[in-house]
Structure 1
Amino acid sequence: MAWFALDDGFDTHPKVRKAGNAAVGLFVRLGVHATKHLTEGHLDGDIVTAYGTAATIRKLIAVGMLHEAGHGCPRCPQPADGGYYIHDYLDYNKSRQQIEAAREAARKRQQRGRDTARLNRSERDSAVILNSNSRENDASFASNCGQFDPPFEGSTAGQGGPSRRDTHEGATVVPSPPLPSHNYDVADVSGGSAGSSAVDLDAYAPSPIDDDNWALTDGLRRWALSTFGPGLDLDYETAQFLDHFRGNGQRRKNWNTEWQKWIRRSAKFASERANRPPLRAVSGGYMSPEERGIF
């Protein structure tokens, strides 16, 4: 998506005031059309006459906001015969090449996000399988260990001869405490489980934020830079944001608004960290929190 740019002094510009509201409305429509179709300010005559009246077109040409073929403005290119050109279009708006490059970069970012999400899900699924195999191996190892234990003879406890406790008359036999049993959870491929509870395979379902195909846009980047400056690492914060919502599996009605809330909190925390009083070296070490006035 691209935007037709108007600066904050547009409404009071002498050309705008002289052209009047009707002609200015036509100018805005023509600018949006040129931006949408990536014409870089060139307009077909049929579009101009379809959007505006002869009077509003003449007003835009008279004040220099719109040029027809053969115009004398040295800064603007000549349109084709029968066409028009928006004055100084490329001074305020992106070219076709810039817009297409931005769109391609956004497409690649979204693809990287989807690839990362698929990789994370694959790694989690592999971890479940490895964990299940490890538990089965533990149980097998514990079972096989008993095959190599030397047998005890008589009532001895494995020593060379009977102990005093073994032969003491009236001695109480205290059984050894049972070995702790591990109640492992084993996932069943058919949907059932063994053990007290099964591994929840739904925990590894696709994340809602990935299902919604959310990705950081250039517009959000511009908002963050204009609001908080370049101090925040937006790519790092976005990665943290994605990991957070992939981890908890929650859905939000508006992911852009949620990302802006995340950036505001991050900027607040960064400001608080920057304003903390530094530790001051003293003869006995560093100042305590009480000395620094924290408590």
Structure 2
Amino acid sequence: MLAHGVTTVTMYGIISEAGSSTRGCSRVLAVNLLSGVLPASLKFTRREYERRVTPMWTRLDDGFFIHPKARKAGKDGRAMFLAGLCYAAGQLRDGFIPNGDVPLIAALAEVDEGERHALVTAGLWEEVPNGYQIHDWLDFNPTKDEITARRNERREAGKKGGEASAVARAQAKGAAIAQAKSNQTPILEKKILEKKNKSEEKIPAEASGDTKSKRARANNFSGWAEALWSERHKGAVPGWTAADFIQLAESVKAIGEPEARRRWSIYLDETDAFYRGHSPRKWRSELSRWVERNRPRLSTRHSSGAKYTPDDFQ
């Protein structure tokens, strides 16, 4: 290796970084080690590469191309040297290149494997038993043991961070649910209170007080209506509300007491077998149907100013 500005070399090119040397500069050297014709097994995109293997980096002096050794190696020798750097870094062999891997490195660089001799002559590769050693590799790159230890540390840190993150997410979710419930309670209580107030507003002020007075003030309608109901239901007392009796009174005003009595009796007779204990609201619904059925005749009499009579509801 050469000692000047620091350049990071990958399988995809050479990325220069600002080094401590005055000759260091930040630039990308247009060197693509995977360009051209390569074996199909070696052709894959950067995304595929990062998915298949753990990315590994190596360092290179950014004055490499003007260094005497690099110039002596020649164009093809330099290409093979760069390919060897990347390959050795990925294999974690501390800069060692086995004899059997030389053809592959030559293929990566798209040069003849005989360029190994040019690298040895230039002093960039050193011949060792069973292969070659990249010159000064360990002076500029971490050892295999250092890299493995660093990866294990990162893996453990990531695991702990993931566990801590999971706990934090669970706590945050629990807090959010608790907060939502605490926020929801007053909202529900408010809605219930509003609904209750609206329901109470529907009952006129005159209907306030005890149940008997409410019924008694419903235009004296409750007396005969309740008596007739109790007669049909063997003396049982209807569980109606004050609002129910107010509705009965409004019906009486609409058609007159005589017709109201008659229709109330008919309603009890007709619905007793099916709607035992039905509230006055059902009767008002039935009354609407009767009125609708006789609407043409009622409209004529109403336009002339005449009062409704029992005959209008036959």
Q: Tell me the TM-score normalized by structure 1.
A: 0.40
Q: Tell me the TM-score normalized by structure 2.
A: 0.37
- More helix per residue: 2
Which structure has the larger Rg?
Answer: 2
